[in-house]
Structure 1
Amino acid sequence: MSSNIPVPHMPNNTAPDADEIDLFELFQSIWQEKILIVIITAVVTGLALFYALAATPIYQTQATLVPPPAYAIQGYNEGRMEAFRNTGVKELTANEVYSIFKTNLNSSQLRNAFFEEVYLPSLSAEQQKNSRESLLKTFNRILSVKQGDAKTNPNLYLVSAELDNPTEAADWVKQYIARAITAAKLEIENNIEAEQRVHIDALTVKTNSLLAIAKREREDQVNLLKEALYIAESIGLENKASLGGNRYIDNDLIYTRGAKTLRAQLDVLQKRTSDEPFIAGFRELNTQLELLRAYKLDDTNVSVVTIDEAAEVPATPIKPNKKLIVAIGIVLGGMLGVFAALIRSAIRKRKNAL
């Protein structure tokens, strides 16, 4: 009866054993080639170490820039506001001054000038033979101007340089900022001087116009008095005529003042050397004009930017990272060694099989 009971199929359990044997053989194959692995690892690590030691070290330094405080730009307002009073001119603010500095700091004109005057002369004759485009790309990697976080701190700027000479790197950053400061100050000075010329010209035209009008009015008055004098002398009226009461004397009756009075008035008008005292508000205008002409900007103690962190001479290079290079060399060498060991083991097995 038992012979009719089907026997269940038993799974083949040899596969795991075979896997274990394969892994063991793989490890054995690698172990047999341990000397080859060590040699290849040592060679690759040695090459990596040689590169790390032979590579030119690159140093980085940077300066941090922020807006100037309000007191640092008062030199632009002291004296200027007095000279420009009643002209509608407003005080310059720290943000306005810093905005002009930022524009110059990021200008292509400043960057190109630094490239031509500082970067190119630092290169060897052989290096200068490279294309301008290639040299500009290298220069842009070496010297950079970056803005801080646009949302949290948009007014913060970083100027950095990466060179194989740490002293030169710090000097380049300082030079670049100094050039931007000089350019910003010159632009502000030119703006103020242009504004000054505009107001001087406007006031000069106004005062000259008032003088011309006063002169014409005086000449008209002289002619009027001469005619009145002629009439007074013609009718023999030497002294003032009595018209009864305080009647208004119009231009046609000026002769009634009498020849004596008219001659005295004519003499005064003809001897007058200046009409300025007789022009309402002329002294104030002339004083304003003199102040404008005398104004001279002194920006010696003015700061258009605050160097929050100055560029220092770096002591440690940022690259090459010797430890990282050696570590990569060890890992890569080990991997190449294992790969070579597996290939050598496979070749040996193939030969034995034949």
Structure 2
Amino acid sequence: MNAIPPAVQPPVNDEIDLAALFHSLWEQKLLIALVTLLVGLLAAAYAFLATPEYQVQSMLRPAAIKDLDALNRTGVYELTPEQAMQRVGASLESYDSRLAYFRANPGLFEALRQPNRSLEQTFESFNREAFKMLQPDPKKIDSLSAYVGIQLTYPADVNGVTLVNGLVEHAIQAEREKIAADLQTVIQNRLNQLELKMAAARANYEASKDARIAELLEADSLKRAQLQDELKALRQQLKDRRDNRITQLDEAIRIAKALGIGKPTTPSALGEGERVAQGSVIRTEVNNQQIPLYFMGSEALEAERNALLQRRSDDFTEPRIAEIAKELQLLAHNRQVEVLNQRENEDLFLKDLAIWREEATRLRNLSVDVTELKLVSVDQVAVDPLRPVKPKKALILALGVVLGGMLGLFIALLRNGLRRGASRHHSDQSSLSS
């Protein structure tokens, strides 16, 4: 009995037959078109039913130098156009500044209000998503001039043009108020500093004047004490000299009485004794030795001694005593001290006081109208946009058709793959059964 050979398995062909694939897709063209149409309709529904969003922006550039000249000429506050623009830009970017504008103009944000959110929560969400600051890229140098701007993306029921222009004006006005406050603070600080300088100068002058008066009075007191000491010493010297003279006279009187000399005489005349003079005789004696005092005679000596004993003051015998009295009289009143004490307007003698007063007067009379100060040049104001930036209808429709077509093709390919798998399984089952 011959054995039956096993059935030969047909080779499996995994290669894709492009013609068959295209034919299969063509057979499913209605499915592909239907899916494409469905996705396209969904995209169109979104494009035409979604809330449109618009976009506006405002651009600021540095102001001219002349616009800030009035402020810079004050000499107490300097602000360059670039610095002013940066300050306004910082105010535009400031969350606090935007929130203040939001609170001051609730009507502009009424469309954004949600019943389950607070005012701050509503603004927080809007501020995070809607605003964008515009600045030149620091890595690029092709920008001809510096600028700063703000861009707002907003739904159709919000007045974005008024909101942006109002926010820019609010930021400029806020910076004006800050500059005005800073200017007043700087001026007041300068005035306080000048007042402190003048007060310190007056205190220093008073201390210097008091020190000068004390110095002059001390010098007068010292001079007066020295003159008093000199006067006392001179009077004591004169008294000792008089006492010594009296002692000498007492001794000479005793000698003269012992020699019997009553009248003034000379040694030669005393030696000749009594001689009768014939005719008129003139005697001349030449002697280089001092004649003893007792030759003056007791009568003259006693008269001189009595005069010395009766003397009450020896001041007249010394010219220096009169000079001391004159100097003491001059020291009784220090005219320089009197002049210093009699000064009525002492500010006239303060150094730099006139300069400080002039500066204080200038600062008090400074008048700068900061409310009209042009901090920036508004290069572009926000205007009503011609079309919304979202949604982009043409792009959404094109993407819907493309995605719909791709989805339809994917579904068709999937169905084709499932069919091929089912057909192959059926043929395999038929081969096994035969």
* 2:245 match: none
Tell me which of 375, 394, 397 is aligned to 1:326. Answer: 397
8 Å Cα contact 2:47/2:393 also seen in 1: yes
Residues 128 and 252 of structure 1, relative CA distance in 2, 3 Å threshold: farther
8 Å Cα contact 2:179/2:370 also seen in 1: no
Q: Alpha-carbon deviation of 1:188?
A: 2.0
Partner of 1:300: helix, strand, or coil? helix
Residues 44 and 251 of structure 1, relative CA distance in 2, 3 Å threshold: farther
Structure 2 gaps, min length 5:
1-10, 221-326, 428-434
Tell me which of 38, 55, 74 is aligned to 1:60. Answer: 55
8 Å Cα contact 1:115/1:139 also seen in 2: no
Partner of 1:65: helix, strand, or coil? strand
Identity %: 27
* 1:234 match: none
Letter in 1 for 2:129: R
Question: Is 1:74 matched with 2:69?
Answer: yes
Letter in 2 for 1:23: L
Residues 348 and 251 of structure 1, relative CA distance in 2, 3 Å threshold: farther
* 1:144 match: 132
8 Å Cα contact 1:59/1:166 also seen in 2: no
Structure 1 gaps, min length 5:
1-13, 82-88, 229-248
Question: How many residues align structurally?
Answer: 300
* 2:188 match: 197
CA distance in 1, matches of 2:112, 2:157: 18
CA distance in 2, matches of 1:250, 1:313: 100
8 Å Cα contact 2:202/2:347 also seen in 1: yes
8 Å Cα contact 1:60/1:166 also seen in 2: no
Partner of 2:371: helix, strand, or coil? coil
> Structure 1 length normalisation: TM-score?
0.68
Q: Alpha-carbon deviation of 1:174?
A: 1.6
Partner of 1:313: helix, strand, or coil? coil
Map Cα deviations across residues 135-175 of structure 1 (whole Å, 9 max, x no partner).
Answer: 62442110122322114359422200001238722222222
Q: How does 1:102-141 map to 2 (within 5 A)?
A: 102-114=89-101, 117=104, 121-123=109-111, 125-126=113-114, 128-129=116-117, 136-141=124-129
RMSD, aligned CA: 4.2
CA distance in 2, matches of 1:124, 1:168: 11
Q: How does 1:223-302 map to 2 (within 5 A)?
A: 253=331, 255=333, 274-277=345-348, 279=350, 281-302=352-373
Map Cα deviations across residues 56-112 of structure 1 (whole Å, 9 max, x no partner).
Answer: 11100111222222111112124x23xxxxxxx474322333343333333332244
Partner of 1:136: helix, strand, or coil? helix
Question: Is 1:98 matched with 2:85?
Answer: yes
Q: Alpha-carbon deviation of 1:207?
A: 3.2
Partner of 1:160: helix, strand, or coil? strand
Residues 186 and 343 of structure 1, relative CA distance in 2, 3 Å threshold: same
Map Cα deviations across residues 112-151 of structure 1 (whole Å, 9 max, x no partner).
Answer: 4345555795355535528967862442110122322114
* 1:85 match: none
Letter in 1 for 2:65: A
* 1:160 match: 151
